[in-house]
Amino acid sequence: MAHDVNTKTAVKNAYRITKVRGKTALRIRIPGGCLHAKHFDLLKHLAEVYGDGLVHLTTRQGLEISGLDYAGIPEINRLIMPLLQDLEIGIGVEIHDPAKGYPSAGTRNIAACIGSRVCPFANYDTTSLAQRIEKEIYPNDYHVKVALTGCPNDCIKARMNDFGIVGMVEPQYDYQRCIGCEACVKNCASQVTGALSMHKGKVKRDKRRCIGCGECILKCPTAAWTRNPAKFYDILIMGRTGKKNPRIAEEFIQWADEDVVVQVIKNTYKFIDEHIDKSLPKEHIGYIVDRTGYPVFRDKVLEGVKLNSGARVAKHVQWGGCRYSSDVFLSD
């Protein structure tokens, strides 16, 4: 059977060109990885009636329904309207014609750990922030990966993303309430960065070492350590996987507030517009920054951004990462 499929259109519409001739797979975006159980009925219907009965959990917390016919795309797009309505339009994303399915797929689903709705370690509601960022950047088609994690444990592996947003909390210390039990100090030394030390029965915090994880607050039996209710974030940039130079993201802005996070990610699209190599079918943001250098990226994405007091911007960024080398092996 002859297929006449515009693969460019299909891919932009969130359908994958699969290894099975004539069959495609649809990626459902789930910003923040949080899905209302009511949608399972529709997903089951799609997979069983139009696909091969399987639903794959994607690495970025989406769902991929495989074994679909290319010819069925228009009908499937109409069927998934309730998902677009609830998961995209419902959170403020502008989609002009929801009956035509996803308008783009380059900017990947925003992944997030379960966050403060459930996890005691999380320093913010990752689902809500994922939805806010989705609203600001989708449906852009540039290849950008954003992941949000509630604390530096980084369960979502935000460091493998172009933007990894790590929750920070500023611990506030009440000297009078401290009983010197050392729970925070011992824990910080063994689990974190050793930013706390005992001094005459009380605790000292080295601000430069503190990464704002909030473990001291969790451990304190007297609420001598409490939360500054304001939310802060560590913005990590340009981590990636891939065949060329996989690497973990490094710190860009520490102690940023939420508006700074959102504006920086938004401005990144202007930076891409200016610097992307237009001769290529697509170019990954990290490699664009490699070409321009960090200062060019920094200055562009900070344009018009009002940095909150306390936010610290990296002077230099030194990415490491691995490069595949043929020199390391004992034999050819």
Partner 1 sequence: MGWKFTEAAFKDLIVKLKADYTILGPKRFVGQGRFSDTDLIRYDEIESLDEIVWNEKSTFSPKEVVFPITQTLFYFIEEKFLEPKLDENKILIFLRPCDINGIRRLDTIHLRNGPQSDSYYAQLRERVRFVMMECMEGFDTCFCVSMKSNITSDYDMAVRFGDDEVLAEVKNDDFTRYFSLDLPRVEFTPGFVQENTIKVTVPDGGEISAGIYNHDMWNEYKSRCIACGRCNTTCITCSCHTTTDIFYDDNMRAGERRRTWACCHVDGFTDMAGGISFRKDNGSRMRFKVLHKIYDYNKRFGEHMCVGCGRCDDNCPEYISYSSCINRLSQVIQETDACVKIP
- The smaller minimum CB distance to partner 1, of residues 12 and 219, is found at 219
Tokens 């852009």 — which residue? 140
185: which 2 tokens?
Answer: 């100090």
Is residue 167 close enough to count as binding partner 1 by CB under 8 A?
Answer: yes
Q: Does 324 bind partner 1 (CB under 8 A)?
A: no
Nearer to partner 1, 92 or 180 (CB): 180
Residues 112-131 that bind partner 1 (CB under 8 A): 116, 120, 122-125
Nearest Cα neighbor of 169 from 234, 257, 228, 236 is: 228
Regarding 201 and contact with partner 1 (CB under 8 A), the answer is: yes
Give the residue with the Cβ less far from partner 1, 138 or 232. 232
- The piece of 62-70, 178-186, 262-270, 313-321 that touches partner 1 (CB under 8 A) is 178-186
**Is residue 192 at the binding interface for partner 1, with CB under 8 A as the rule?**
no
Binding of partner 1 at residue 198 (CB under 8 A)? no
Stretch that binds partner 1, among 2-10, 22-30, 218-226, 322-330 (CB under 8 A): 218-226
Helix (H, G, I), strand (E, B) or coil at 28: strand
The single-letter DSSP state of residue 115 is: G
Question: For 11-137, where are the E strands, in sequence order?
Answer: 15-17, 23-28, 55-57, 63-69, 111-112
| Percent composition of the chain: helix, strand, coil (DSSP 3-state, to 5) | 35, 20, 45
Pick the piece of the chain touching partner 1 (CB under 8 A) from 164-172, 204-212, 238-246, 302-310: 164-172
CA distances to 32, 176, 196, 199, 266 from 181, in Å:
38, 13, 13, 12, 45
Tell me the C-alpha distance between 332 and 222, whole Å.
62
* 190 belongs to the binding site for partner 1 (CB under 8 A): no
Query: What DSSP designation does 88 have?
Result: T
Given 53, 74, 92, 180, the residue binding partner 1 (CB under 8 A): 180
Contact footprint for partner 1 (CB under 8 A): 116, 120, 122-125, 150, 167, 169, 172, 175-183, 200-201, 214, 217-219, 221-224, 226-227, 229
